[in-house]
Each structure stands twice: as structure tokens, then as C-alpha cells.
Amino acid sequence: MKQSKINKRFIYLISPNKIKNRSFYIDLEKILKLKKVSFFQLRLKKETIKNKTFIGKKIKKICTKYRVKFLINDEPLLAKKLKADGCHIGQKDMSFFNSRKILMNKKIIGVTCHNSKKLALRAKNAGADYIAFGAFFKSSTKKSAYKANLGILRWAKKKITMPIVAIGGINSSNYKKILYSGANYVACSSSVWNNKKLDPVYAIKEFK
């Protein structure tokens, strides 16, 4: 996964916690059509494998249509089953080594590094395709015990020659300072899917 100096598709979009309605797929297609999203991550913690597979197949078709990389959260085996572009793993998930063994070298594997330079360097040395830092702000999607600051983005931009994803409470009001500090992508979820003022399509449009 090559790093681009000028990145118009700077959004790393994460799914809502639940996907129940047909309207989600309609909104997703409209969002990806705007060409602001580089990655879409399916993150369904409380769904059965059967439902994840059903939902994942529908999302994969939409992502493929708009040339958006489709990733699965936590589950390399599901990523392989769905023929996704890769997966994202946390520090408490399957090890990077075992994930790579399942997905082989052609697939993307991103690694959560919280606010740790040590974890970032470890992920880089292991061969990760990108690293994710966070949380930068309070998030309603995922509670985090780790608080990251802009300094770690500036450090990573100088020391780690790989794409950097910032996550945690990022919205259309605060994302620019994240990008200016060195992140290549901003991950968002609740600011899009659970926005109290805007529907998902207009919420994405606010990331200008």
C-alpha cells in the first residue's frame, strides 16, 4: 500500500455497530460515489458469522464498484472467506504473524498502536501495511483507555515510512488538524452514521 503525498480520499470509514436496514447500503453507495473514502472497515462485534458474511458480501460489491478497499475488523478468517482486501487487528486480537499466515502477502493488514511508539515500530518491523493511532478525541463508538496526541503523528511521519490512520472521535470539525499533523487517513464512524444533525451522505460531505 503506497503512501501518497496528496490524498483526496483521506477518509477511513468504519461501519456502524449494527446494520439492519436496506437504507444503509443505499447511503453507503452514495457516500463512496463522492470519492472521499479510501477504506471501508466492517466492524460488527455482536453479529453472528452468518450475518457478517451476508452483510460483508453486499458491502464488498459496493466497495469494489467504487474502488474502495474493503477491510474486516479483527477477523482474518472472515476476511479470507469474503475475499476482502484485508483486515485490521488490535493488540488483543490474533497476532500479526498468524493473520499474515492466513491472508498471505497480497492482503492489507493494519495494526492498532494506541498511543505507543514502541507498538508502532513493532508493527512496522513485522510488515504491517498501515498503523492506527488513537483515540485523539472522545468517541461514542468505542471507549478507549488510550489517549493519543498530535505529537505522535508528527513523530510517526518522520520515523515511520508507512500510512498512518488516526482514530477516535474524529469529525468534520477537528479532522484537519489531524491531517496537518501527519495522518494520511482519518477514521470516522459515529460522526457519519449517528450524526444527530445530518444524514450519513451529508455528514461525509462536511469533510471538505
pLDDT digits (tens, 9 = 90+) for 143-158: 666 899 999 999 999 9
pLDDT of residue 108: 98
Q: For the whole model, what pTM was predicted? A: 0.94
Q: How far is the C-alpha of 30 from the C-alpha of 161, rounded, in Å? A: 33
Q: Confidence class of residue 3 from pLDDT cuts 50, 70 and 90?
A: very low
pLDDT in tens, 103-145: 998 999 999 999 999 999 999 999 999 999 999 998 766 666 6
pLDDT in tens, 157-172: 999 989 999 999 999 9
Looking at every residue in the chain, the average pLDDT score rounds to 93
Q: Dump strand ranges (E) for the chain.
A: 11-14, 37-42, 69-73, 86-89, 108-114, 130-134, 164-167, 185-188
| Range 66-94 average pLDDT | 96
Query: Rounded to the nearest 5°, which phi and psi values hold at 131?
Result: -120, 150
* Domains, the chain, with CATH or none: 11-205 (3.20.20.70)
CA-CA distances (angstroms) from residue 169 to 10, 112, 120, 142, 189?
16, 15, 21, 9, 8
